[in-house]
Amino acid sequence: MPPEKFPGLRHSNPPLKPVLLWDGDCGFCARSAAQFRRMAKGRVADAPVQPLLNTLPPEIAATASAQILFLDTSGAVTGGIRGISAALKAAGRPVLAGVLVFPLFYPLFRLAYRLIARLRFLFPAPGACPR
């Protein structure tokens, strides 16, 4: 499983607004990002990760095809379920964000996230998803 935290690593050019980065080659990811966009109500931007891959530290870019990434305004990056939690918190959804990383539930949510991320090509959505 790819790491969700990247201590000591930062994006060299932090955004003015937090950004949720998702796999632009995946229809399931695009649809999930659209749902997040509605929840975020403009507080958090979202974008396909591919155009930004060469701007991310190599250790983080190597995980981009396996998980969603969240880039905050300090340049810190988190991935997977922790990235979703950070994005939800930044979007004004702290309770939902807290549930995802609550110690009792976190292992289950992380496992579920990893399973969905690995099998996302099976879910119906427009556009191809990488295998």
pLDDT for 25 equals 85
Q: Is residue 51 situated within a structural domain?
A: yes
Element housing 37 (H / E):
helix 27-40
Q: What is the pLDDT of residue 52?
A: 92
Give the chain's domain count.
1
Looking at residue 117, what is its pLDDT? 87
pLDDT digits (tens, 9 = 90+) for 97-129: 999 999 999 999 999 999 988 888 777 665 656
The answer to whether residue 24 sits within a structural domain is yes
77 or 116: which leads in pLDDT: 77
Which stretches within the chain are classed as H helix? 27-40, 58-61, 80-90, 94-101, 106-119
CATH of residue 29's domain is: 3.40.30
Over residues 47-67, the mean pLDDT reads 93
Q: Which helix (H) or strand (E) holds 19?
A: strand 19-22
Domain that holds residue 98: 14-122
Q: Longest Cα pair distance anywhere in the chain, in angstroms?
A: 38
Summarised one tens digit per residue, pLDDT across range 4-46 is 999 999 998 899 999 999 998 888 888 899 999 999 999 999 9
Average pLDDT (74-94) is 97
Torsion (CA) 112, 45, 3, 54 in degrees, nearest 10: 130
